[in-house]
Structure 1
Amino acid sequence: MSYEPADANVDTTAEEPPTLPTDRHTGCPFDPPAELTALSDKPLRRMRYADGHVGWLVTGHAAGRAILADPRISSRYELMHPPIPMPGLPEQMPPAPIGDIIGLDAPEHTRYRRLLTGKFTVRRMRHLTERVEQFTAECLDDMEQNGPTVDLVEAFAQPVPALMICELLGVPYEDRERFQGHVVTIFDQSAGEEAKGEAYMAILQYLNELVLAKRAEPTDDLLSDLTTSDLTDEELAGIGGMLLAAGMDTTANMLSLGTFALLSNPDQLEALRADSALAAQTVEELLRYLSVADPLPRSALEDVEVEGQLIKAGESVTVSVQATNRDPVKFPDPDRLDIHRKATGHMAFGHGPHQCLGQQLARVEMAVAFPALFARFPTLRLAVPPQEVPLREHANIYGVASLPVTWDKE
């Protein structure tokens, strides 16, 4: 069915639709904005977007899963309205760049997805798990040598996922320091736009060169495997960039913000220390509790009814993962971090056809990293008062800009 805009883009209710709350500067740094929590009394409500469009905000867990799984709801960037102001974006969002499967619908998305899913084999995941353990130990060795006071973001949370992306894509060892330097610049909140742009272009250029190298001399990595498919060089480089963007910043912020959350909940940290078998369950609960990748915007291709509300063709829908993962109907006492909770069904990795491809690798990274960190440094603690930890409040991925930590040297 062809895309048709909504007949009218005005709200017919008496009250002015709210905008998406994003301000977390007060209260617990791990909780959604208080204004967002106040809007969660309804699973689905009208919301005014940054450009004046009136669409929908989804805060209910069941409604969020229904939206993300419905093929009538599009992920195409060019059909969306930005839920919050994003300086630098054009009035009309451009289509997804080549290789960015996040902004595609079926059948294009399905083609890419099938190719990529088949490359995350059991053998590859076993190999990557061994490499996570090795990289984690190396980073902890460096921390111990440079400590006892370090920035956990710089010393641990960023290097581990960056090294794993290098491993996944098959970046040669001699190129990794340069590659990581560009990656860190792209995701550095304090870096200027010019520096970020230069780093981004350098990464794209490098990925194009890497694709050619893999075609000429394949190695045991995902990018080499994909050179046997019908994907073009441009598609392969684009997929490499998409995997980098999707897998680096999210995991890095989960590691740093997750450490902050565990240090702020000593009873939960003690339970993890006492039983390393809780590592996988701790990861799931932290994913639910922190929900760093938020929100998930979509657009209706045709009329869709959800929770008794009619979403018209052309209207934007924004799923707030922070809110859906704190829905008390699904997760009782949702504002409490509880690593004994069975957090099955959380939407930190999305849901439906666009659910995160690399979620198992991200889980492995965290399940290895958290226990290893706290085992190596039993007295690990914040080096500054909690209220002085700088937060990434206005970034696409929530987290901390830095996390100064210290420990007692034996």
Structure 2
Amino acid sequence: MHMLIICAAAPTTDRPRTHGLLTALTRNGHDVSVIFVDGAGTAFDELSDRCRALLPVARRAGLAERVIEVLARRRFDLVHIEGEVADAVDLPLPLPTVIDTTACQPLRRERMVRRAGWLLRGAHVLQAWRARQRAGAEWPAAARLIVASSEEDWGSAALGHPTHQPEVVPTPVDVERLVPTLQLRERARLLLDLRDFTPLERMVVLMETHAILAHIWQQRPEVRLQVLGPPPPGALRALATEPRISFVGAVRDARPYLAVATLALVPALPGRNGLYTPLEAMAMSLPLLGIPALARELEALAGHELLVASDAEELAQAALTLLDDPRYCGRLGRAARHLVERRHNYAAVNTALENVYARAMGCALAEWRLAVGFEGVVMQGEVSFSADG
């Protein structure tokens, strides 16, 4: 299939969802060209060798013109657009269109509404509804929408336009690169990964984590915390002087830290970016401990594939339980790895994408298969079943 993918920024590993979707498509033989906003001349990895063309645009304002120019010169079967830039493209386009709404602003607001307490929900719900109505008006009715999990689909079902019901396409994870090691894990080292969070969100997460640590240190003062991210500014700067907390700064490759930690803490979810760092931890068989929304977002079974608790005191008690039970930690880690291998590998994600693409191109059988949840691929009127189909 010949497809054009339109991105808000260069689809490098710093944007793991789009980079992973591109990798899944190109590994399975699809012919892909990419238009993206990039005025800095971003360097690419091996993905550049697999794509037919990488077409940067210096400014977002020039995106629509570049898309029209490329569509006039080349033939494509389908256009795939990141939701962040859907409003910068002159929709509808003259060919089937799929929009990945995972990172778009209305969905971000809806995720905030979904995860917040009742007071914040009341404050945000009207703004989220208005944003979704504007987005729904901009998206053509024939466009197919995709999200990363059924938890994100909540926003569309509750606040969205009735003609825009997204299909779930999980975020891909490189399970061949992220592999559990034979290295022994430390017995009392917690890991906090802040790479998915904005600077403001990091401040909130650090405050919540410090409250959890205060409860843990009452019983286990030797427990240490390693933070993947820079030291906090301002009033939280004192955390950087706590000898049991270490900040490692910006990290390109988290595998050395994921390999030795006892467990990963996820006391909050990002409001702006999608979840990827917890999937990396799970792929490395690192047990996750987080809030209940984490299990819903990852569609993971609490108590089996990760552990959840509602507040700082409960999270601290759950962490102490895991620290005292290495066998349970091992079972959680192995189950987490199996979840990522099953749902987030490149082949499974490619299958999900191909089904959505076939539906966008008018395949009635693909429409039926997506409705009933079959796992097989339907392309050009042919049917092939996966091992689970």
For normalisation by structure 1, the TM-score amounts to: 0.22
Structure with a larger share of its residues in strand: 2
For normalisation by structure 2, the TM-score amounts to: 0.22
